[in-house]
Amino acid sequence: MKEEQRKQKINTIKTFSVRFTLGELKKDMTLTTKTPSKPSKEQVINQAIKLHSQGNISEAAKGYQYCINQGFNNHKVFNNYGVILNGRGKLKEAESSYRKAIELNPDFADAHCNLALILRDRGNLQESELSTRKAIELNPDYAIAHSHLGNILRDLGKLEELILLSKSTLQSNSINQGYKLLASLRITIANLLQKDFSGTLININKTNELINQGAIKTIKDEKNRKHSFTFSRFITSLYPLLEKDNQHHYSKIPHFGESHCLSFAHQTLSISSQIKTIQPVLITGGKAWHFANKKHNQWKDSLTQQIKNHNYSDEIFISFGEIDCRKSEGIITYALKKEKNISEVCKQTIKGYLDYMEKVLSQNYVRRYYFGVPAPTRKKELPDELDIKRIAIIKQYNSTLKKEVLTRGSYFLDVYALTSNKDGANNNLYMCDQIHLSPKCLSILFKNYLYKPEASIK
């Protein structure tokens, strides 16, 4: 499962940034026409960089290794070799290579930015923030670094700083429309997390205006484009459904999760004989799989940092798992690729996920409420083989999660039972889009689909 984890890390980082930079490639690609019998140091370095720029990764890696073995202390060699090592999943070695590049040239912004990406991968968000800020200090118009820092600030819950940074991105004349779209979307989400409904609406309109102007087409990475479009559409659909008139200052319950935690943002609920407000705590791209994994990572670090920011309640809501149950990633994709039993992979993922979450959360929250995964929306009349497998895995995921949660002494909200029809597909009665719950179903869930832990049942 290590290979699956590495690919998921790389894909998640690409949500809001171009993954790596090769440095000043074009300046280094010119070779002299009169090549001596023994190439010069510069020619060997330039040839390796040229091979890399042409996509010949294997030969470029050999070239960089030769340069390093010969003692060629060139900062671009170490930076670019780090790019290759990272692409191969060798994060520790890549980190060392980037640090060497910085040692050789402390003013090389690309290496600082690449190091920041590695540090985020390895679950060191605070040092990643410092490295990214250094890259921006060296190159104030470094769009990739601006975008990456925005992601880190969001992961750490530093929303005010995130908004200021994103506004500076929007005001820059040298940053393209794609990065401005990403900045506008980050401001929109930050406004919603802060309960700034008027600001949320203003920036929903700004984001949609940029999309209509074609800004999304300037985002190079396909997954980035898709994520930006679907997330903006989700917020646009969700906003009109949220109750916004409540001015009372009720006690808060934090709701940790990926995008699904936004469905009940700042809605009120009577629980434990008190009216409370739900405070969303976004951990973007988080999967049960990330918390089940034994290694430290950015999602675990984000969870740890966010717990420090939201330790005001004895209760907590948790919403992870929907990404694990998709057709294109997660349990199904991993099991099929590795020729493993899908059911067993599902059980192992949930067990590891809850082992970690209960250990961490029980230290801070007395009552823990886990939300299940909605039934899948049927997008076509005749489902294909993967659609059928997905319907089956979501049913099993919820059944296993419910059992494991209750036996561990926590509460379970059966979202699947609320949203599924007799065939296991979504009944389309309680959704704000094809993926996320409508805030209107919150009271229904707690009234009819809340299951108490076995320890509390007499």
Amino acid residing at 13: I
Task: Pull the structure tokens for residue 327.
Answer: 């057709």
Rounded alpha-carbon distances, angstroms, from residue 90 to 20, 118, 130, 286, 300: 15, 10, 22, 22, 20
- CATH number, domain of 296, equals 3.40.50
Task: Pull the structure tokens for residue 319.
Answer: 């919403």
Residues 6 or more apart whose Cβ sits within 8 Å of residue 166: 150, 183, 184, 186, 187, 190
pLDDT tens figures, 415-436: 999 999 999 999 999 999 999 9
How wide is the angle at C-alpha 225 spanned by C-alphas 220 and 230, nearest 5°?
175
Let me know if residue 151 belongs to a domain.
no
Let me know if residue 147 belongs to a domain.
no
Q: Which of 439, 432, 16, 442 is nearest to 234 (CA)?
A: 432
Residues 6 or more apart whose Cβ sits within 8 Å of residue 353: 288, 289, 291, 292, 320, 321
pLDDT at 92: 92
Let me know if residue 187 belongs to a domain.
yes
Share of the chain above pLDDT 70, in %: 91
Rounded alpha-carbon distances, angstroms, from residue 359 to 173, 223, 356, 369, 452: 48, 33, 5, 14, 19
Asked whether 104 and 67 are in contact (CB, 8 A), the reply is no
- CATH number, domain of 88, equals 1.25.40.10
* DSSP letter (8 states) at residue 195: T
Asked whether 371 and 430 are in contact (CB, 8 A), the reply is no
Q: 215 with 338, same domain?
A: no
Asked whether 417 and 371 are in contact (CB, 8 A), the reply is no
Q: 322 with 406, same domain?
A: yes
Residue at a domain's end among 115, 140, 165: 140
pLDDT tens figures, 184-239: 999 999 999 999 999 999 999 999 999 999 999 998 888 888 889 999 999 999 99
Residue at a domain's end among 140, 174, 199: 140
Helical spans, DSSP H, in 28-176: 41-53, 57-69, 75-87, 91-104, 109-121, 125-138, 143-156, 159-171
pLDDT tens figures, 38-75: 778 888 899 999 999 998 999 999 999 999 999 999 99
Residues in a beta bridge with 371: 413
pLDDT tens figures, 164-191: 999 999 998 888 899 999 999 999 999 9
* DSSP letter (8 states) at residue 375: P
Whole-structure pTM value: 0.87
Q: 110 with 170, same domain?
A: no
> If DSSP codes are grouped into helix, strand and coil, which group holds residue 316?
strand
Q: Residue 371 — φ and ψ, nearest 5°?
A: -90, 135
Residue-averaged pLDDT of the chain: 89
Residue at a domain's end among 217, 241, 265: 241
Report the distance separating Cα 213 and Cα 230, nearest Å: 17
Q: 345 with 414, same domain?
A: yes
Q: 176 with 298, same domain?
A: no
Report the distance separating Cα 225 and Cα 394, nearest Å: 26
346-354 average pLDDT score: 97
Q: 57 with 115, same domain?
A: yes
Q: 279 with 365, same domain?
A: yes
439-447 average pLDDT score: 96
Tell me the pLDDT band of 31, cut-offs 50, 70 and 90.
very low
Let me know if residue 149 belongs to a domain.
no
Residue span of the structural domain in which 69 resides: 1-29+39-140
Q: 237 with 262, same domain?
A: no
Q: 232 with 258, same domain?
A: no
Let me know if residue 314 belongs to a domain.
yes
Let me know if residue 145 belongs to a domain.
no
9-34 average pLDDT score: 41
Residue 345 has pLDDT above 90, yes or no: yes
Rounded alpha-carbon distances, angstroms, from residue 172 to 16, 163, 188, 221, 321: 18, 14, 18, 21, 38
Q: Which of 143, 112, 142 is nearest to 129 (CA)?
A: 112
- Report the number of distinct structural domains present in the chain: 3
Relative to beta strand 411-413, strand 367-371 is: parallel
Q: 254 with 200, same domain?
A: no
pLDDT at 24: 43
Q: 223 with 337, same domain?
A: no
Q: 131 with 168, same domain?
A: no
Report the distance separating Cα 206 and Cα 201, nearest Å: 9
Asked whether 275 and 252 are in contact (CB, 8 A), the reply is no
Tell me the pLDDT band of 21, cut-offs 50, 70 and 90.
low
328-352 average pLDDT score: 94
Look up tokens 């419910």; give the residue: 402
Let me know if residue 34 belongs to a domain.
no
Let me know if residue 361 belongs to a domain.
yes
Residues in a beta bridge with 253: 278
Task: Pull the structure tokens for residue 105.
Answer: 């040239």
